[in-house]
Amino acid sequence: MIEYKSKENIAKMRAAGRVVARSLRIMSESIVPGKTSPADLDALAARIVAEAGGVPSFLNYRGFPANTCISVNNVVVHGIPTATPLEEGDIVSLDMGVELDGWHADGAWTYPVGTVSQDAKRLLNVTREALFQGISKAKVGNRIGDIAHAVQKYVESNGYSVVRDLVGHGIGRHLHEEPSSVPNFGRAGEGELIKSGLTICIEPMVNQGTYKVVTLPDKWTLVTEDGKLSAHFEHAIAITRDGVEILTVE
């Protein structure tokens, strides 16, 4: 059952979202190509969240062993932070959740490491815009399928593919809650009716090539089947009669 949030609930999620946004910004600004590793960034995120009085939502969630998911190049999502430094030309997705005062927020952004190829830049630009295309359809009276269709249409019109095995989700008192599926593909006019107080995460995962993914032996890391690049952008949002509010911003 969907829990529709009050203004007070949304205010608490907004506070958690600010910690997510600040953490992602500081992490991205600290990257030095050839020196900074995902493990360094994970430790930095843990410190920022602790200083804010929060708890990393991902740590030990279903057994996940880190504070953040850090996915490099052809890793789509759920990358476990390693000690291997990020290199010039990489793209890196930083994905994290924060629980603060009993409420969660979750966000992700994909960043260039130093100077990246024009192909990589275009993938990042299209994926980021796909997120906002989806957010534009997050209105009371619309349906989840309207969000999904907007993302898919924009991504595919630009020659990329949307991952089918993973979707966005509801969020609030729990990291994942109803609606359990906010897809990045589908038909307009279908799916759950959007009502005031709905809080969800929209998170396009966009591949240069096929949408198919493979799970590595660690049972967490998902990579593109063809080895091509993937990008991931995510915001937690609240939808009310007054419009949509992005919660994962500073």
How far apart CA 81 and CA 101 sit, in angstroms, is 26
Q: What is the pTM of this model?
A: 0.97
What would the mean pLDDT of 178-194 be, rounded to a whole number?
A: 97
How far apart CA 229 and CA 11 sit, in angstroms, is 36
β-pairing, 198-202 vs 235-240, is antiparallel
Confidence tier at 134 by pLDDT (50, 70, 90):
very high
Tell me the one-letter amino acid at 46: A
pLDDT digits (tens, 9 = 90+) for 27-75: 999 999 999 999 999 999 999 999 999 999 999 999 999 999 999 999 9
Check residue 5 and give its pLDDT: 98
Each domain of the chain, given as residue ranges in start order, spans 7-246
Mean pLDDT of the chain: 98
CATH 3.90.230.10 for the 7-246 domain, yes or no:
yes
CA–CA distances in Å: residue 121 to residues 90, 114, 117, 127, 182: 11, 11, 6, 10, 26
Residue 19 CB coordination number (10 Å): 25
- Per-position DSSP letters for 166-200, written without gaps between them: --EEE-SSSSSEEEEEE-SS--TT-SSBP-TTEEE
Query: Would you say 240 and 197 are in contact if contact means Cβ atoms under 8 Å apart?
Result: yes
CA–CA distances in Å: residue 219 to residues 33, 62, 188, 189, 207: 28, 11, 33, 35, 20
Burial environment of residue 205 by CB neighbours within 10 A (0 to 12, 13 to 18, 19 or more) = buried
CA–CA distances in Å: residue 233 to residues 63, 90, 110, 213: 23, 16, 6, 17
What would the mean pLDDT of 2-13 be, rounded to a whole number?
A: 98
